[in-house]
Structure 1
Amino acid sequence: MNAALQKEIPGAATPGTCELLKSRSEIIHPDPSQFSPMTQEKALRDELIFWALAYAKRGYPIYPINIDGTPLVDWNGVTTPESKVREWWGKFPFAMIGMSVGLWSGIWCLKVKDRNTLESLKRSGWAIPEKVVEIVTPLDELMFLFRPEQNFDQIRGSIAPGVHVFGTGDFVLLPPSRPALGGPDYFLEEGQELEVGQLV
């Protein structure tokens, strides 16, 4: 398992012409408490569909997820048409953004409980691939999205306390998904030079 994780991940998604995002502050709205509930709702609706469309345009298989963590639609596509995104988020404007991982997208996810767990992994000889996208969850968990050279499903599931690999048959939530209006969201860790909608 160590050797597989240490392999360098081949190139990222094809660059577009969108502005590079270099910090969390560029992809989330200011403190929600500064706005009225109606303004907060509109800002979140606009932000979710903007990012859902951006992910779909880059070819990622996304679909809406309820705040309880269950899919709102039955979708098995390897990509998602823009028309579907507009239809779904028109019907479910506050839905979180889920993406199929594993063989559907070619992207796998390593989820770690917290940074202490990550440091323990490293001391045990594990190494996070260099070419990953790091996402922080509302619970401060760390998700590392990567595109391996081989099928990673052989280690899918819980591989150590506080460590889980998501693969074929799973989905992960993408920024700026927010389980509760006014609460914390999923966000890209700072310092990653990514274009709008770019993952790996």
Structure 2
Amino acid sequence: MFSKWFGLTADDTRVILTAGIAAGFGAVFGTPLTGAIFAMEVLTIGRIQYTALIPCPVAAIVGDVTVLAWGVHHESYHIAIVPVGHNILSAYLPLDVVLLGKVMVASIAFGLTSYLFAETVHGVKTAFNRLIKIKWLIPFVGGLIVILLTILLGKPDYLGLGVRPPHPDAITISSAFNTGGSDTGAGYGKPFTLQ
């Protein structure tokens, strides 16, 4: 609607939408750089939209700063790092070849998962647009699917941001950093609620 009012092109609208996603992630999670990268990945799979390279980080930083100005604080995540080795170099540059290999394998897996997520989002959107001709019914049907999945799973763990637990045994981002704080299928639950 605003695009039509201001006479914006489809490309301009896409940049504004991408910047809006980046601002949302920057504001909600306090991760402006990650928010900007995520926003550009989701809307342009495998291609960098150069016109969004400046608006996305700026919007994400403004979103983060705005939330902080209101006195809202983001969740802090603490991951203990244990020094490796006993030589003087390891005090300044802890390098473990096995750990480095694991990080490389994990990075590839995370990249492929991100790609799969973005492709799935676009596939679901395409399928819904083809199957449901009345556009306002699409989010309604999507909401019903999320409600049905929540009922089938029997717990609301995957609703919301995954930061504040809806019940004491809930799986959250913070609990996933602890032993027994998540289960094997937890990684599949959240993406379905984002669709």
TM-score interval, normalised by the smaller of the two chains: under 0.3
Select the structure of larger CA radius of gyration: 2
The two structures have a TM-score, normalised by structure 1, of 0.25
Which has a greater percent of helix? 2
As a proportion of its length, which structure holds more strand? 1
- Which structure carries more relative contact order (alpha carbon 8 Å, separation 6+)? 1
